[in-house]
Amino acid sequence: MVPASFAGHDFLASPQGALHWPAQGALLVADLHLEKASWFARLGQLLPPYDSHSTLTALARDIERSGATTLYCLGDSFHDRFGCDRLPDDARALLTSLTARLDWVWITGNHDAGFVDHIGGRIEEELTVAGLALRHEAVVGDPTPEISGHFHPKLRLRMKGRTLSRRCYVASDTKLILPAYGALTGGLDAHHPEIVKKVGPGAAALIPAAGRLLRFPLAA
């Protein structure tokens, strides 16, 4: 994890998309999309059914490394409202062990709105912590500094004739969008007009790499 600052707060950002907030003893992640593979399987599109366990294993490692005691999931934690019901036994056991020992907060998103069985933790539509709004999707025009997810931002770069794609954070003075943390998630180009519109002028894509935070300005 590399140091990052936003709205007067100090964080540590990981390339995977976990944001550690040391002052709050918290870890923030967005868009786990657990049980996405099983959702597609029900539609006849078969994908390897290991996405949930892979995502939760990575999350458990980041929790251990950070020492966080609170976990904020910023929406779309499950790919649909019944995703939790489809968790395989190993993923269910791992998730249950995590929610039992952490102050775990599920913030609802557009995919998992209305989900009931969440194996512990508490459900919130959004909340404010230390002056920062935590929600699933950024709200245009809200002056409150906010951290959100929803867009799965990725930065695509052309280098030596090849196109490289990396998960990225997108930040302006009052908006910070986290990349999707889930193992089976795509991404929207950070330059996409919908992302730029949400974060406003002066935005940049941020990539943790080589012990520092690389900054790539985004044109408004």
Nearest residue to 5 (alpha-carbon basis) of 22, 26, 25? 22
Could you list the pLDDT tens digit for every one of the 220 residues in the chain?
Answer: 999 999 999 999 999 999 999 999 999 999 998 877 565 556 555 555 568 888 999 999 999 999 999 999 998 888 677 777 788 889 999 999 999 999 999 998 876 766 666 688 999 999 999 999 999 999 998 999 999 999 999 998 776 777 778 999 999 999 999 999 987 677 899 999 999 999 998 999 999 988 899 999 997 6
Structure tokens at 165: 């794609």
Sign (positive/negative) of CA torsion 51, 195, 24, 78?
negative
Sign of CA dihedral 68, 70, 76, 81: positive
pTM for the structure as a whole: 0.90
- Rounded to a whole number of angstroms, the CA Rg of the chain reads 17
Query: In sequence order, what are the beta bridge partners of 185?
Result: none
